[in-house]
Amino acid sequence: MIRSTLAATALVLSLTQVAMAQVDAKFNYVLTLGGLNVALMEVGLTDDGRRYGLDLSANVTGVGSVVASGTAKASVRGSSAGASLVSESFALETRANGEVFTAEVGFSGRAVSTFQVNPPIVDTGDRVPIERSQLSGVGDFISAFVLKGSALDRSLCEKRASIFTGVERFNIEMGFLDTDEATSPRTGYQGPLVACSLRYRPISGHFASSEMTTYLAESSRMVLWYAPLGQTGYYVPYRVIVGTSMGDLSMILVGMRE
């Protein structure tokens, strides 16, 4: 009887792991600035129950001298076994105006183990230096916004993300705003949402004279809406709005395939 019970328990556990493990989804977003389309972006998420992968690609159409045309690719790999995603590697490549920029970051136990950017950032004298003590308890920029949780409620918003991009170290503080409902048939999801406030807190790696850094740090108009990814326990961005002096920078989910 004991052997039978153990065998049955093992079978249930294995079936549960199979049911929960496999996630293979893609999301498509449109980014606009002041009402004008500036980029199309696709994000892929895979999870086998122990490890996850995130792959992002974007084509930027540009807006005059404000946003340069180009492409961007990013990939993240890490552990998904716990209550949140834990980055192990992050890689970014951007191409614009004939120039290529790459950044690679390795993480070990939520601490930066290696990082490299090419070409190196030129310090004009007012770049806030990155301290080694600031590179522990951190993760990458993409994984910070793909959440695991038990329900679509205010608990999703009660978080703070400590982020290192290879160039800049900053925090994103989130807070609960409201529940909402997505109803537009032109978007990739219709159903309940949770709206979270965002606050950007620069730590190091940024330029003290940067007007954009100052503006974002002082801005109180940054909102992120989350939608559930079916019954997977994942929650992904449905919409993001960041107020800027050039109009709203907006990202909206237009397609979702589980």
Nearest to 146 by CA among 13, 1, 36, 27: 27
Tens digit of pLDDT for each residue in 160-187?
999 999 999 999 999 999 999 999 999 9
In the three-class reduction of DSSP (H, G, I as helix; E, B as strand; rest coil), residue 24 is classed as: strand
The pLDDT value given to residue 124: 85
Give the mean pLDDT of 198-225: 94
Tens digit of pLDDT for each residue in 243-254?
887 889 999 999
pLDDT band at 69 (very low <50, low <70, confident <90, very high): confident
Domain ranges of the chain: 22-257
Give the mean pLDDT of 119-133: 94
Return the percentage of the chain with pLDDT > 90, whole number.
Answer: 81
The pLDDT value given to residue 63: 63
Place of tokens 């834990």: 86
- Please state the separation of Cα 247 from the chain's center in Å: 22
Give the mean pLDDT of 155-164: 96
Tens digit of pLDDT for each residue in 224-245?
999 999 999 999 999 999 988 7
- Please state the separation of Cα 213 from the chain's center in Å: 19
Distance CA 187, CA 19 (A): 28
- Please state the separation of Cα 246 from the chain's center in Å: 23
Q: With helix as H, strand as E and coil as C, how does 172-213 read?
A: EEEEEEEEEEECCCCCCCCEEEEEEEEEEEEEECCECCCHHH
Q: Is the pLDDT of residue 192 over 50?
A: yes
The pLDDT value given to residue 68: 75
The pLDDT value given to residue 66: 58
Distance CA 85, CA 251 (A): 22
The pLDDT value given to residue 245: 79
pTM of the model: 0.88
The pLDDT value given to residue 62: 66
pLDDT band at 78 (very low <50, low <70, confident <90, very high): very high
Distance CA 131, CA 113 (A): 13
pLDDT band at 205 (very low <50, low <70, confident <90, very high): very high
